[in-house]
């Protein structure tokens, strides 16, 4: 292939990408949680549902706040109004990812909405950790009757209007089942912080000092290496304070954004070095870092 042909091919590819970006701009991003009619509840248990429910549904990548009542197979109350995880500051039930639960509980919660109460008999082998069964603490052939009250369900990913691509901002690809991929601009790492809203949400506005449940990934500018991915951290939901000086300068970027939005924040290496000097964990190997943040809801 000649040099002229190579340049022509690159120009054609650039034009195709530009046309794709133009076509996507103004379209809407609809995550699985916002498509209630497509959600298929579990058929592994006989589930009873009470309450109308409203808002997003709990999906595989879902995050929700709820409490549980547990009765054993003799009808004895084992736990009442119990949260899987609580906020260490308030003691209130905290949001938790569905993927961080035992299989039976996650199956029971699938497709549930805020305001609903869900109940079913769940085999011990699907509710208790394997270690509890193996040690004999819990009988493998027993079952528990669970009643779960769902108080809040968060979007499973950014949900809103896709914004036009901006020069100097990495392009974000959103996976259908949640998660991000990025393509870096062909230019040196920036020395200034850059912020862009790649999806504009339709939810309530984030005020200063709000606590926001997010999904987030981070990449080095130079190589695109993934440094962090909250989608794979299933033990607890990630919560960011919407306030200046929080989490590698991300906190103030949340203020005045609407829930459902996705923002890209490019933090230069010099800023990250200052963060490390102030006692925060070093990040980025001396390179600028690209953060992609989906705003899922307020705590």
Of 125, 154, 183, the last residue of a domain is 154
* Domain assignment present for 20: no
pLDDT for 16: 37
Residues 196 and 181 in one domain: yes
Kindly state whether residues 293 and 200 are assigned to the same domain: yes
Question: Would you say residue 283 lies in a domain?
Answer: yes
Residues 272 and 289 in one domain: yes
181 with 148, same domain: the answer is no
* Within-domain flag for 9: no
Q: What is the pTM of this model?
A: 0.86
Pick from 114, 132, 154: which residue ends a domain?
Answer: 154
Residue 274: what pLDDT? 87
**221, 233: one domain:** yes
61 domain residue, yes or no: yes
C-alpha 28/C-alpha 196 separation (Å) is 17
Task: Point out which residues pair with 289 in neighbouring strands.
Answer: 220, 267
Query: Are 164 and 179 members of one domain?
Result: yes
pLDDT, position 25 = 52
Greatest CA span in the chain, whole angstroms? Answer: 80
Is residue 162 a part of any domain in this protein?
A: yes
Residue 19 lies in a domain: no
- Split into its structural domains, the chain has a count of 2
- Domain co-membership, 161 together with 290: yes
Token duo for residue 268: 């230069």
Same domain, 204 and 130: no
Burial degree of 114 (CB within 10 A; 0-12, 13-18, 19+)? buried
Q: Which helix (H) or strand (E) holds 104?
A: helix 103-109
Do 97 and 140 fall into the same domain?
Answer: yes
**C-alpha angle with apex 37: 82 to 53, nearest 5 degrees?**
35
Q: Are residues 85 and 185 in the same domain?
A: no
What is the CATH number for 202?
Answer: 3.10.50.40
Q: Are residues 112 and 148 in the same domain?
A: yes
Are 118 and 176 in a shared domain? no
pLDDT at 24: 47
For residue 270, is it within any domain?
Answer: yes
Of the three residues 91, 120, 154, the one that is the final residue of a domain is 154
- What gap in Å lies between CA 264 and CA 80, rounded to an integer? 42
Q: Does residue 21 form part of some domain?
A: no
Range of the domain at 167: 157-298
Tens place of pLDDT per residue across the chain (299 aa): 444 433 343 344 333 333 344 344 558 889 999 999 999 999 999 999 999 999 999 998 899 999 999 999 889 999 999 999 999 889 999 999 998 899 999 999 999 999 999 999 999 999 988 888 888 888 888 999 999 999 999 999 999 999 999 999 999 999 877 889 999 999 999 999 999 999 999 999 999 999 999 999 999 999 999 999 999 887 889 999 999 988 898 999 999 999 999 999 999 999 999 887 777 777 888 999 999 999 999 99
Q: What are phi and psi of 208, to 5 degrees?
A: -60, 135
């Amino acid at each position: 292939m000649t040099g002229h042909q190579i340049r022509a091919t690159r120009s054609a590819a650039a034009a195709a990408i530009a046309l794709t970006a133009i076509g996507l701009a103004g379209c809407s991003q609809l995550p699985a949680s916002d498509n209630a009619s497509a959600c298929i509840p579990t058929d592994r248990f006989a589930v009873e549902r009470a309450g109308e429910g409203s808002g997003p549904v709990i999906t595989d990548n879902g995050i929700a706040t709820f409490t549980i009542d547990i009765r054993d197979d003799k009808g004895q109350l084992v736990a009442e109004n119990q949260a899987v995880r609580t906020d260490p500051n308030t003691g209130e039930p905290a949001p938790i990812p569905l993927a961080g639960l035992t299989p039976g509980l996650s199956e029971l919660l699938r497709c549930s909405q805020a305001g609903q109460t869900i109940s079913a008999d769940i085999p011990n082998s699907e509710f208790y950790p394997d270690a509890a069964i193996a040690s004999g603490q819990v009988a493998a052939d027993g079952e528990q009757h669970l009643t779960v009250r769902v108080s809040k369900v968060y979007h499973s990913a950014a949900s809103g209007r896709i914004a036009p691509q901006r020069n100097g901002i990495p392009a974000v690809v959103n996976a259908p089942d949640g998660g991000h991929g990025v393509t870096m601009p062909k230019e040196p790492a920036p020395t200034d912080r850059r912020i862009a809203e790649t999806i504009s949400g339709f939810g309530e506005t984030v005020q200063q000092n709000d606590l926001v449940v997010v999904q987030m990934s981070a990449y080095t500018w130079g190589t695109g290496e993934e440094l962090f991915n909250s989608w794979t951290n299933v033990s607890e939901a990630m919560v960011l304070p919407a306030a200046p000086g929080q989490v590698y300068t991300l906190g103030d970027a949340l203020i005045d954004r609407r829930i459902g939005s996705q923002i890209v924040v490019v933090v230069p290496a010099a800023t990250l070095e200052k963060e490390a000097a102030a006692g925060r964990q070093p990040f980025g190997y001396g390179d600028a870092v690209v953060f992609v943040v989906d705003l899922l809801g307020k705590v």
